[in-house]
Each structure stands twice: as structure tokens, then as C-alpha cells.
Amino acid sequence: MRSLFIVVSKVFGLIQVYGGMAYLFTLPPMLHMLGQQSGSEDAHTIVYTSFYGEPITLTAISLVAMLLLTFGVAWLLIFRAAWLADKLSIPETDAISSFPVERILYTGIKLIGLFVIVQGIPHLTQAVCQMRYTMPFRAYMWSSVTAPLIRIAIGVILVIKTSAIIKLVMGKEKAVRESP
């Protein structure tokens, strides 16, 4: 049961990384929009000043905190899965311990990569079609195309470099398992 928990947590950790990356692409436009809105003295908007003298709202701070939390949970699920299994007292059973961990991770990473590609293609198509209307706004045009392109590139990397990702994710656990 412990091995299954570790494999599933690593797959969920990779999904969490993808969610964080997708969220990361929406963060700069949101911070820009919030920076513009902070000029209006709203009753529910608390404005702080950053190191650069720019106004930062409490909402912007919470967005950054959410991003850090997202990647923190992903790190915990991917690289500290065995520690988490120990803390949750998940026992190892003989019936499940013999399943091929690397094969399940391989299939999960390929599926996540294909999911990311399939999800990114419509966004890229929409952005390219909208380029016709936003030609005067070059900065917006590139920012709308860049995020889907990077998502598709991440998906392609997940599909093509699956073995390297498994080596990265398994790390010390694989070496410990192979030593006896």
C-alpha cells in the first residue's frame, strides 16, 4: 500500500506542478490589473508599497502566496512522498508491493503530457485567431501566444523525456530500493 501511495502522490505532484505552471502564466496580467486598480481607493483594497515603490494590494500578495503554496505542495508530493507516507503511517503490504512503480509513473507522466498538449492546442488556436484583432497591441499579442506555446512545450517534454523525468522523480528512493 505504501508503494502505491508514493507512486500516486508523485503523479498528483506532477499534476500540481502543471496547475502551478498554468497559474503562473496568469499571474503577471493579474498583478498588472491589480496594480492599475489599486489607484482607486476602494474600501476593501489594502495597498502596500513594494521595494520598487509600486503599489501592491493584499489580493496580489495572496496570489503570490497561493503560487508558493501550490509549488510547495507539489515538492512535498514529488520529493518527500516517502516521508509523507511515514508520517501518515501507511503500511507496506506484500500484495501491492510487487507492482512496477516505474511503469505506472511512465504511464502517468505520458498521460499528463498528452493531457497538457490536448488542453494547450485550443488555447493556442484561439490566441492565433485573436492575433488578427490585436495586431496594434503587440505586447498583448505575444503574451497571449506565449502561455499556450509554453504549455504545449511542457507537454511535449513530458511525453518525450518521460524516462529522464522518472529518474528525477524517483531519485534516492530508486537507489535505496535497488541496493538490497
Domain boundaries defined on the chain: 1-98, 100-180
Dist CA 17 CA 113 (whole Å): 12
pLDDT value of position 23:
74
How would you label 127-145 residue by residue, b for 16+ Cβ within 10 Å and e otherwise?
beeebeeeeeeeeebeebb
How far apart CA 163 and CA 8 sit, in angstroms, is 17
| 144-161 pLDDT tens trace | 788 888 889 998 999 899
Give the orientation angle of helix 162-178 with respect to helix 58-79, to 10 degrees: 50
- pLDDT at res. 179: 37
**92 DSSP assignment:** P
Alpha helices, H only, the chain: 2-37, 58-79, 81-87, 94-97, 101-130, 138-160, 162-178
The stretch 173-179 carries a mean pLDDT of 45
54-100 pLDDT per residue, tens: 555 666 666 777 778 888 888 988 898 888 888 877 777 755 556 67
The answer to whether residues 21 and 151 touch, using CB atoms and an 8 Å cutoff, is yes
Grouping H, G, I as helix, E, B as strand and the rest as coil, residue 37 is helix
The Cα–Cα gap between 37 and 106 comes to 45
- Residues facing residue 48 across a β-bridge: 56
The answer to whether 65 and 71 have CB atoms below 8 angstroms apart is no
The pTM (predicted TM-score) of the whole model is 0.54
Q: What is the CA radius of gyration of the chain?
A: 21
Higher pLDDT, 14 or 137: 14
Any idea which of 12-26, 30-44, 143-157, 164-178 has the lowest mean pLDDT?
30-44
